[in-house]
Structure 1
Amino acid sequence: MDAADSALMAARAQFAITISFHIVLAALTLGLANFLMVLEGLWLWHGRKIYLDVYLYWLKVFALNVAVGTASGLILEYQFGLNWSRLSTQAGYILGPLMFYEVLAAFFLEAGFLGIMLFGLKKVGPRLHFFATCAVALGSMISAFWILSANSWMQTPAGYIVGTDGRLLAGDWWAIIFNPSFPYRLIHMTLAAFLGTATLVAGVSAWQLLRQPQNPRARLQFSMALWMIAVLMPVQIVVGDLHGQHSLKVQPQKIAAIEGSWERPPEGAGEPLRLFAIPDMTERRNHWEVAIPRIGSLYLRHDLSGTIAALDEFPAKDIPPVPAVFFAFRVMVGLGLLMLGLGLISLVLRWRQRLYAARWMLQSCVLMTPAGMLAMLSGWVVTEVGRQPFTVYGLLRTADSLSPVSRQQVINSTWIILVFYLLIFGIGFLVLLRLLREPPHEDELGPQPTLADETGHPEE
């Protein structure tokens, strides 16, 4: 491996570290903002103070998440400027405006109304405060819109023209923003954020119910989280299938890597479902393969005899790192199926009126607490590593996006980032554990005392 390749691998590793930390916090911001909006809306609608208590409890978690997420976002921007300046040079005319709109939404809606959301209930009243909560939730959705539009354009570039100097310029902004893969990614990622938040809330609530089985507020948040999982997980599976069908058309190398398909099966034999294998990039084959014949064709082609383009049909230089993509996809799908099972079991237990009494269910939810976020991270590995060796798919290679930095420079900055992350995330995690140690109580204070009358109804 020469010096350039060594610096490239170090820069990619640094990006993986920074994005993995930040994306979890960004997804929690999206999921918690909308969860809080629903809770406050239910409080205003029904006038039951239990909703307000749960709202104020998770508002503290939301505030902590935003604080730590802001710090991780600054580090992410720093490493972009340090390591990937050539990406900005080649594609900045397109990516720059998209990122600017994301920042605009974040600052004008999320940051602008966040102070009112955290501290303004006593000052502005319940209805205007609910408007602020809705604005923050809307801001998180708009922020996700622009981020995913930019990322999707890098996966399926459209609407661009190539300038005389080789730079990518905007030709059709509508085609750029609403590029071919954008609708699938937007829905898939939004659902992933909601499901990741739901498994977190369900796991925390289950832990609290194991200690205080009769706590009505812990029961409420546990019930809401499981409803979210039960309803959204089947939708996510359908969206994932549609996303996969589209990727098969526009990124066939990625799908071949996901399937570990090195050679196309004989005509009519169908594509197998490889449950396990150890892909070998050097020998271009799988070791220890365990497969079920034809089942792969069922979800790839929706029949039992169809096949897909295999990895040996593409130039070796255009094939992504197969082992990472292969295993990450199976982790994502496996955790998704576990979440689906959790949602279905919760429906059965509701019907039998044993949702809060079945300790094995509560214990299972505790074990599944990180499942949603781990599945989302695995999905991002499939998305980003599966796009390699390109930064802008088919147009700009990752090696050509790297700044003129040495391996040692990248490693040194990575150590600085890791120390910063260990400090910020360590403190944040300890505070989070302290916040979640006890379930929400009656007259929960939140960041500021609440505004409610003695009957628990919002004051006029």
Structure 2
Amino acid sequence: MDVTPLLLSRIQFAFTITLHIIFPAFTVGLAAWLTFLEGCGLVTGRAIYRRLSDFWLKIFAVAFGLGVVSGIVMAFQFGTNWSELSRRTGPIQGPLLGYESFTAFALEAGFFGVLMFGRDRVPRWVYFLACLMVALGTSMSSFWIMVNNSWMQEPVGFTTRPDGVFVPVDWHAIIFSHAVLVRFPHMMLAAYVTGAFCVAATGAWYMLRGNAVQEGRAMLTMALRLAAILVPVQIGFGHLAGDFVHDKQPTKFAAIEGRWNDEQPASEVLIAWPDEKAETNRFQIAIPYLGSVIGSMSLSSKEVGLKSFPVADRPPVAIPFFTFRIMVGCGLLMLAIAWIGSWLSLSDRILRARLLLWATFLSFPLGFVATITGWFTAEVGRQPWTVYGMLRTAEATTPFLTTPQVATSLVIFASVYSLIFTFGALYIYRLLRAGPIPAPDLDLQTTNPKRPLSVPGDSPGLRATVPAGE
């Protein structure tokens, strides 16, 4: 493999987007979680929601800052490494990024200060409104980014000038395309599920350690119950996103399925080792008819294979093939943990289910892994196109860019990102390890004295004093 400016530019973009997407996937869900906690506290007056909100706000602030820093670099790369893409798609992508600044950034910047410094300076309903606006801002930011990316996946509502520049003619078609309507909810639900499992894993960790048990149990039960609802909905939107790929991007769909030849009816390849040179799969395990059912909801539909397309128009097969299966596997694991945990949380059995607590604690990376692998499936599967069917990736790079130039920037980015994110992750870990501020002797909203809670069947460390009513 030749080391070219194109290859290094793609590696650099993949590296930065992989690290960047971790933080929006976390903070979008966490902003909604903070809003939920503040709403519950406002309605019920129970102090535990205040303690949880104050605890998670510190973690949200650090992750939010890291997300902003990593996101700025993404914009720089469009000018340094992908200037031809910027030139040709600027009339469309430029305004979309501007809309993100006018809406999302304005909301986040305007109300984030209230979250950080206004707890005791504004009425509780104003603080709740600030949480809601920050959550709306993070969602709006995700929306405009997904509109931008979805237009590259399904270019609509434009015309092409003689110099190759794409000019918008129908903003409604661009903003509310079929791709946006299925991909944006899929991404938002991924963020909510990721946040829910981070909260649930933290709660399980505290219960296993025997500290902050009251707060840990609240985090565990609320987050697992929320995930039990969200994960099936996420899987449903994932199927809709798959239908879009099946209809609009058949080469990507064939690569995801690992299907080389046209089949009628089509089988579903569960696992295999794609061999692109031989145009076949090694060690394949497949289920007859299931491929037609998944692709067209039919037992007899014809499904297209990769050999029906020119080699130059095919994506790399192995990456979308494996990343899609990793994403689905993570989703099924999260579904099982959420449903079992929610069922056990209906009684005190969840306190004795140490295996479930360990499984929940160890599940915290699943949402991030599913999000990253899903993004890889979408982006690598789109190759060799940057704007699908209109602009190839090889044509989108900056002219006259040299290999040493891109290699230097890649090393600098990797070093700086690694340094910043390592210290950021360690600081978040220290915040998580410290845990929420312990409950006082009397809850702020109850006059009942404390009563001891003995956790049946568990270690002596899993004992806590819980105020009645909490």
Normalising by the smaller structure, the TM-score range is over 0.9
Contact 1:217 1:441 in 2 (8 A): no
Query: Are 2:451 and 1:436 aligned?
Result: no
Instruction: Among all aligned residue pairs of Structure 1 and Structure 2, give the percentage whose two residues are the same amino acid.
Output: 43
Rounded to whole Å, the distance in 1 between the matches of 2:63 and 2:308 is: 45
Distance apart, 1:242 and its partner CA: 1.4
Rounded to whole Å, the distance in 2 between the matches of 1:139 and 1:128 is: 16
2:451 aligns to what? none
The letter of the residue matching 1:98 is: L
Rounded to whole Å, the distance in 1 between the matches of 2:66 and 2:309 is: 42
Rounded to whole Å, the distance in 2 between the matches of 1:403 and 1:427 is: 33
Query: 1:35-434, aligned counterparts within 5 Å?
Result: 35-212=33-210, 215-265=213-263, 267=264, 270-404=265-399, 405-434=401-430
Contact 1:109 1:139 in 2 (8 A): yes
TM-score with structure 2 length normalisation?
A: 0.91
Secondary structure of 2:186's partner?
helix
Rounded to whole Å, the distance in 2 between the matches of 1:73 and 1:271 is: 41
Instruction: After superposition, give the CA deviation of every residue in 1:274-319 in whole Å (9 maximum; x if it has no partner).
Output: 1211112222111121212222222222232223111011111110
Rounded to whole Å, the distance in 2 between the matches of 1:239 and 1:432 is: 31
Contact 1:39 1:52 in 2 (8 A): yes
Instruction: Supply the RMSD in Å over aligned alpha carbons.
Output: 1.8
The letter of the residue matching 2:182 is: Y
Contact 1:213 1:356 in 2 (8 A): no
Distance apart, 1:80 and its partner CA: 2.2
Rounded to whole Å, the distance in 1 between the matches of 2:211 and 2:270 is: 39
Structure 1 residues 214, 10: CA separation in 2 closer, same or farther (over 3 Å shift)? closer
Structure ranking higher on relative contact order (CA contacts 8 Å, 6+ apart): 1
Distance apart, 1:106 and its partner CA: 3.0
Contact 2:221 2:345 in 1 (8 A): no
Contact 2:273 2:284 in 1 (8 A): yes
Deviates more, 1:180-189 or 1:295-304: 295-304
Rounded to whole Å, the distance in 1 between the matches of 2:291 and 2:5 is: 38
Contact 1:279 1:323 in 2 (8 A): yes
Rounded to whole Å, the distance in 2 between the matches of 1:300 and 1:179 is: 21
Secondary structure of 1:123's partner?
coil
Structure 1 residues 222, 411: CA separation in 2 closer, same or farther (over 3 Å shift)? same
Distance apart, 1:456 and its partner CA: 7.3
Rounded to whole Å, the distance in 2 between the matches of 1:356 and 1:253 is: 49
Rounded to whole Å, the distance in 2 between the matches of 1:188 and 1:455 is: 39
The letter of the residue matching 1:355 is: I
Contact 1:217 1:439 in 2 (8 A): no
Contact 2:8 2:406 in 1 (8 A): yes
Rounded to whole Å, the distance in 1 between the matches of 2:411 and 2:267 is: 43
Secondary structure of 1:355's partner?
helix
Contact 2:23 2:63 in 1 (8 A): yes
The letter of the residue matching 1:387 is: R
The letter of the residue matching 1:173 is: W
Rounded to whole Å, the distance in 1 between the matches of 2:219 and 2:304 is: 46
Distance apart, 1:352 and its partner CA: 4.8
Secondary structure of 2:349's partner?
coil
Structure 1 residues 208, 355: CA separation in 2 closer, same or farther (over 3 Å shift)? same
Rounded to whole Å, the distance in 2 between the matches of 1:85 and 1:34 is: 36
TM-score with structure 1 length normalisation?
A: 0.93
Contact 2:258 2:317 in 1 (8 A): yes
Secondary structure of 1:181's partner?
helix
Contact 2:104 2:137 in 1 (8 A): yes
Instruction: After superposition, give the CA deviation of every residue in 1:154-210 in whole Å (9 maximum; x if it has no partner).
Output: 100110011122210011111111122111001100000011111111112111110
Distance apart, 1:332 and its partner CA: 0.4
Give the number of aligned pairs: 445
Distance apart, 1:127 and its partner CA: 1.5
Instruction: After superposition, give the CA deviation of every residue in 1:407-449 in whole Å (9 maximum; x if it has no partner).
Output: 22111101101111111101101101100013323369xxxxx
Rounded to whole Å, the distance in 2 between the matches of 1:74 and 1:148 is: 17
Rounded to whole Å, the distance in 1 between the matches of 2:256 and 2:156 is: 24
